[in-house]
Structure 1
């Protein structure tokens, strides 16, 4: 009987330890590795690939749904999602199954160690079943129709003229994989007098409110999940809701946000391209655009539009990115004025915010 190679990817050291002990006691099972987050897991899987992955959803640097989609697109592997968020009928459960998880197990919020010990037989059986799953690379089936990759035109027309300057500067930040920690680095370094900030972080919809609350607890500026009609104000950052686009709107000399439904743009909702286009359209040279770590190219075209409308534009450098995708694509388009390390972005905000682009 072939030995089933298992890898456990979870932020909890206790869970990794107890789950490992459960599987190591079983004949025909071997835990080939554990990792606190998907980025570490990817490094380890470069040496030995597992037969089954056990993955949490809430993890640093890359959430479990994004990791699951990446695995299914590049190297289809049976994945069991094990999370407190996957209660029956929850959005997270639907997202995990839609992304290709072969099984979803709900992790208890209390009494985790006892649960793992009492449910070991069920978990072992789930892993054995998963190991026999037959998977195809995402999108490889001829019966699957890949939706078109829409641009920001699907949500908002492009700017037709340069906006007049005002005394209020607005900052827009777009990021994806690796962005949760990157945003923490930037926002915790900003003073209360910082200009208003709008943020798109690619993240499942049930995460953004909790993510905003966590940042609000550790930052000097106020951080909240955006609501339709919120005013953009100094000392305040608004994070786009998962599952909805966020756009800047100008009324007189004041700025507000619109939180709207709409199709995915650059295959994301919220989309950085949508936010950046609205900045180009309604803020022009009053804006500062920042694109940070993330997979894909969402935000590259929007940042170019901001650049063309006179906004200052910054990209995170390759060395400090978890994934050098979005900044790289923006740089290739000629959309970026400055390339800086993550640790310097807050200082660049302070230095650039009241300057006029040369």
Structure 2
């Protein structure tokens, strides 16, 4: 049984989370705390496997508590977040500090969506229990802008494609901060809600030498630029005249996701000989099939290794399909991308 401690100041939210977690046979709520001070004592006495943590609480906010927890007693934490313009930067900061994942605060009046919400919570708690925790990092240490040499001779038509899910925001950042400002265009699909994708792109743009933006329909792929799929649209790349262009697709979920990595990778098959594709940390198998298709069409492919992945799901699926030519630790991915796209 996976033991869960719920930390939230709202009795109603604590009740809903307890109900949806207890529905699963392999999960049990061992306690619920209304503030971080109570949570601290319950962690000592109950030794939970996973904590769900609200961000806004009295006495001490969730970010301050998380920072203390990850420094003194690292353990898997799933943040309970308001999926809003205001909530997204704080939640991204929580992932930076070391939270494994986040889920939306439940909408208490939407009974018909409760089952879907319950399944999402259960899946994220299970994944968190098996996640590999990253070392604690202060936001100041993580926000150092890369000062990297430019002038590297890159292949003219090169495109870099990255797919990621759980743990991916920090993994992507670690790759991007090592890329020179004139690197080939990078297209990214990260499983993330809509408002969060724009916040994530803005956060990356401040941190990286390359210019990072949320992809828009019609964006022309240019060197020195990174295009992140919006959280509610599939990102594709198509040929338009002499240019490669971003297309946003509001189609059905693929592998239960929108955006889906497979959709991005599939769209790149016509240009495969110029593509270098990488699958980073993430739950599930999205992207593995698309990566195999790219490899068979002539692309260079790689997957993050198990040791440096928060969740070795998507990269593992690619490795098991023999879709990844290389299996790399996260710290080596940027150097691989630079080498594989250089003349």
TM range (shorter): 0.5 to 0.7
**Partner of 2:37 in structure 1?**
21
Taking structure 1 as the reference length, the TM-score comes to 0.62
Out of 56, 59, 64, the residue aligned to residue 102 of structure 2 is 64
1:99 aligns with 2:99: no
SS of residue matched to 1:100: helix
Distance change in 2, residues 1:136/1:213 (3 Å): closer
Write the distance in 2 (CA, Å) between the matches of 1:226 and 1:246: 8
Q: Which residue of 2 aligns with 1:111?
A: none
Distance across 2 between alignment mates of 1:45 and 1:238: 30
Q: Report the CA distance shift for 1:338/1:7 in structure 2 as closer, same or farther (over 3 A).
A: same
Q: Tell me, what secondary structure is at the counterpart of 2:244?
A: strand
Equivalent runs, 1:213-228 vs 2, <5 Å: 213-228=202-217
Conservation of the 8 A alpha-carbon contact between 1:280 and 1:305: yes
Deviations 1:1-33 (A, max 9, x none): xxxx843389xxxxxx9813367999xxx8866
Q: Across the two proteins, how many residue pairs are aligned to each other?
A: 255
Deviation at residue 100 of structure 1 after TM alignment: 2.6
Q: Find the aligned partners of 1:137 and 1:325 in 2 and give their Cα distance.
A: 13
Q: Give the SS at the match of 2:162.
A: strand
Partners of 2:331 and 2:324 in 1: CA distance: 18
TM-aligned CA distance change 1:191 to 1:44, over 3 Å: closer
CA contact (8 A) 1:190 1:221 kept: yes
- The residue that corresponds to 2:140 in the other structure is none
Q: 2:290 aligns with which of 302, 326, 329?
A: 302
> Is the 1:9–1:56 Cα contact (8 Å) retained in structure 2?
no
Pair 1:344-2:332 in alignment: yes
For residue 44 of structure 1, report the CA deviation from its aligned partner.
5.0
Richer in helix (by share): 2
CA distance in 2 between counterparts of 1:289 and 1:347 reads: 14
| Equivalent residue number for residue 8 of structure 1 | 7
Q: Larger Rg: 1 or 2?
A: 1
- Over 3 Å counting, the alpha-carbon distance change for 1:321 and 1:278 in structure 2 is same
Q: How far does residue 137 in structure 1 lie from its aligned partner after superposition?
A: 9.4
**Selected match of 1:253 from 239, 242, 254:** 242
Question: Which residue of 1 is the match for residue 187 of structure 2?
Answer: 198
Could you say which residue in structure 2 is the equivalent of 1:184?
173
Change beyond 3 A, Cα 1:300–1:136: closer
Report if the CA contact (8 A) 2:189-2:228 is conserved.
yes
> Deviations along 1:50-80, whole A, 9 cap, x unmatched?
xxx9834623154322xx8xxxxxxxxxxxx
* Counterparts of 2:115 and 2:252, CA distance in 1: 21
Contact in 1 for aligned 2:8/2:34 (Cα 8 Å): no
Aligned twin of 2:224: 235
Sort the Cα spacing of 1:137 and 1:333 in 2 relative to 1 into closer, same or farther, 3 A: closer
> Which residue of the partner structure matches residue 126 of structure 1?
none
Question: SS of 2:334's equivalent?
Answer: helix
TM-score (norm 2): 0.64
Q: Is the 8 A contact 2:7 2:34 kept in 1?
A: no
Distance 1:24 1:239, change over 3 A: closer
Q: How far has the Cα of 1:289 moved from its partner?
A: 0.5
Shift of 1:335: 0.8
